[in-house]
């Protein structure tokens, strides 16, 4: 384990996971460049931790602004050790219901925002021959649920992007990790964060079924996650994927077992298609 003081760049640090993880890093003596659309929410952290935190106003869908923010953080702290893409939200709606602007907004934030942050940080990390790029994905970046199609698509894309990136930068001394949380009692479903398409009555039964299936679901406690994230960034050999939550590993394993069974049952058809 490597526990020396680290410098973080965190997007979406005004609330939720981003805020908790920024606070945990600061409390143990690390330095944090914390970005948010509205930096006023970072005021209490600035008041408490002073020069150890650099608040930066940022909309991650603005590529130029992302590059400027990362450069500002590097100039201020002289290095970057942990680059954490946390900014994002979940759009809900059946695939037929999702409008083009809604779809583009979801992909712009969750996928392109993550890509821009990685692209902006990589020149600095390559030069110092170290660093850890982390992106918050979801268990819904591994398997899908109805009414979350465009959110699933954005997180599946983040998974593919970061997986490829990990293979590209391993030789450069740069580590990559995807965080895959299950359901947590954050503001994910709060109207201030979640967005919803205009509902089509044809899909109300699907939504009712989903609600019934998760009626007794036990949400994880966000405040229980910082220790896992600190252990991750201190590891000399961090995993490419880290699931968070009691149900996460079981749900992901179940999804893969189902896929493996399907591929195996159709193996003969697949092999004959080789020609």
pLDDT of residue 186: 80
pLDDT of residue 243: 97
pLDDT of residue 189: 64
pLDDT of residue 2: 62
- Whether 203 is catalytic is no
Q: Pick the catalytic residue: 85, 151, 184, 197?
A: 151
Could you give the 3-state DSSP secondary structure of residue 94? coil
- 66: domain CATH number is 3.40.50.720
Q: Pick the catalytic residue: 31, 155, 175, 184?
A: 155
pLDDT of residue 121: 98
pLDDT of residue 191: 67
Q: Where in the sequence is the domain holding 112, given as residue range(s)?
A: 7-247
Query: What is the DSSP code (8-state) at residue 12?
Result: S
Strand (E) or helix (H) holding 269: helix 267-272
Per-residue pLDDT of the chain (275 residues; tens, 9 = 90+): 666 899 999 999 999 999 999 999 999 999 999 999 999 999 999 999 999 999 999 999 999 999 999 999 999 999 999 999 999 999 999 999 999 999 999 999 999 999 999 999 999 999 999 999 999 999 999 999 999 999 999 999 999 999 999 999 999 999 999 999 999 988 766 666 679 999 999 999 999 999 999 998 999 999 999 999 999 999 999 999 999 999 999 999 999 999 999 999 999 999 999 99
- Whether 256 is catalytic is no
In a domain, 197, yes or no: yes
In a domain, 163, yes or no: yes
Could you give the 3-state DSSP secondary structure of residue 44? helix
pLDDT of residue 3: 64
Phi then psi dihedrals of residue 240, to 5 deg: -70, -35
230: closest CA among 132, 138, 115, 118? 132
Q: Is 111 exposed, middle or buried (0-12, 13-18, 19+ CB in 10 A)?
A: buried
In a domain, 256, yes or no: no
Q: Pick the catalytic residue: 14, 85, 137, 138?
A: 137
The total number of structural domains that make up the chain: 1
pLDDT of residue 237: 97
In a domain, 258, yes or no: no
Cα angle vertex 155, ends 159, 183, to 5°?
A: 110
In a domain, 261, yes or no: no
In a domain, 233, yes or no: yes
pLDDT of residue 9: 98
- Whether 127 is catalytic is no
In a domain, 266, yes or no: no
pLDDT of residue 4: 84
In a domain, 79, yes or no: yes
pLDDT of residue 190: 67
């Amino acid at each position: 384990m490597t526990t020396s003081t680290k410098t973080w760049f965190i997007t979406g640090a005004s609330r939720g996971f981003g805020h908790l993880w920024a606070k945990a890093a600061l409390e143990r003596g690390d330095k944090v460049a914390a970005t948010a659309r509205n930096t006023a929410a970072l005021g209490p952290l600035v008041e408490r931790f002073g020069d150890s935190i650099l608040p930066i106003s940022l909309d991650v869908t603005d590529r130029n602004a992302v590059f400027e923010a990362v450069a500002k953080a590097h100039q201020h702290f002289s290095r970057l050790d942990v680059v954490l893409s946390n900014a994002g939200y979940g759009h809900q709606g059946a695939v037929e219901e999702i409008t083009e602007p809604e779809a583009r907004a979801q992909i712009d934030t969750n996928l392109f925002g993550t890509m821009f942050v990685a692209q902006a940080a990589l020149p600095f990390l390559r030069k110092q021959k170290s660093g850890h790029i982390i992106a918050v994905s979801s268990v819904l970046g591994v398997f899908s649920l109805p009414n979350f199609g465009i959110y699933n698509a954005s997180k599946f894309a983040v998974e593919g992007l970061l997986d490829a990136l990990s293979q590209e930068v391993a030789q450069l001394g740069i580590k990559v990790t995807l965080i895959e949380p299950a359901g947590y009692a954050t503001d994910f479903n709060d109207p201030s964060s979640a967005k919803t398409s205009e509902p089509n009555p044809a899909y109300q039964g699907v939504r009712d079924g989903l609600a019934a299936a998760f009626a007794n679901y036990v949400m994880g406690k966000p405040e229980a996650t910082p220790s896992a994230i600190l252990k991750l960034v201190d590891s000399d050999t961090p995993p490419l994927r880290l699931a968070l939550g009691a149900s996460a590993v079981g749900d992901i394993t179940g999804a893969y077992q189902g896929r493996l069974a399907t591929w195996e049952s159709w193996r003969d058809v697949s092999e004959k298609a080789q020609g």
